Amino acid sequence: MKIQPKEFTALVLKRKEPFVDWLKETDSKAGSENDYDFPGDCGTYLVKDVTTATEVENFLRNQFKELFENELAEWHEPDFWPEELTYDLFCRWFEVEVHRQVYGVG
C-alpha cells in the first residue's frame, strides 16, 4: 500500500454549544431525538486550492451557506432551520478546523 498526498485541504466543522442548543430545542419541537454527543461526528469537506489562512477565510465567506445548509440538512428539514443563515451565525455555531496534510490510502 502506498500513501499518497492529496491536493486537498480538509475543513472540519465542529458543532459549538449554540448549535447543540438549537438542535435540542428543534428536536423537542419536531418530536425527534438525535445523538449529537457522538465524538468525532463532524462534517468534513475536502476543498482544492485552499491552503492559506486568507484562502480559507475567503472560501468560508463565499461558501458558508452551502456548508451551513448541508450541516442543517443532516439533522432536520428546512422548515425547522433558522430563517436567516448568515456568516455570523455560521461562525457562532461552528468551529472550523483546517487540515492541510490530507493523504489517500489504498
Parse the chain into domains and list their residue ranges. Answer: 3-105
Report the alpha-carbon distance of residue 58 to residue 60 in Å, rounded: 5
Q: How many CB atoms within 10 Å of residue 68? A: 21
For residue range 5-19, list pLDDT tens digits in order: 788 999 999 999 999
Q: Please report which confidence band the pLDDT of residue 30 belongs to, taking 50, 70 and 90 as the band edges.
A: low
Confidence (pLDDT) at 36: 63
- Cell representation of residue 91: 461562525
Query: Is-contact 103 1, C-beta < 8 A?
Result: no
Q: What is the mean pLDDT of the chain?
A: 89
What residues contact residue 6 under an 8 Å CB cut-off, 6+ apart?
Answer: 46, 102, 103, 104
54-103 pLDDT per residue, tens: 999 999 999 999 999 999 998 888 998 999 999 999 999 999 999 999 98
36 contacts 76 by C-beta, under 8 angstroms: no
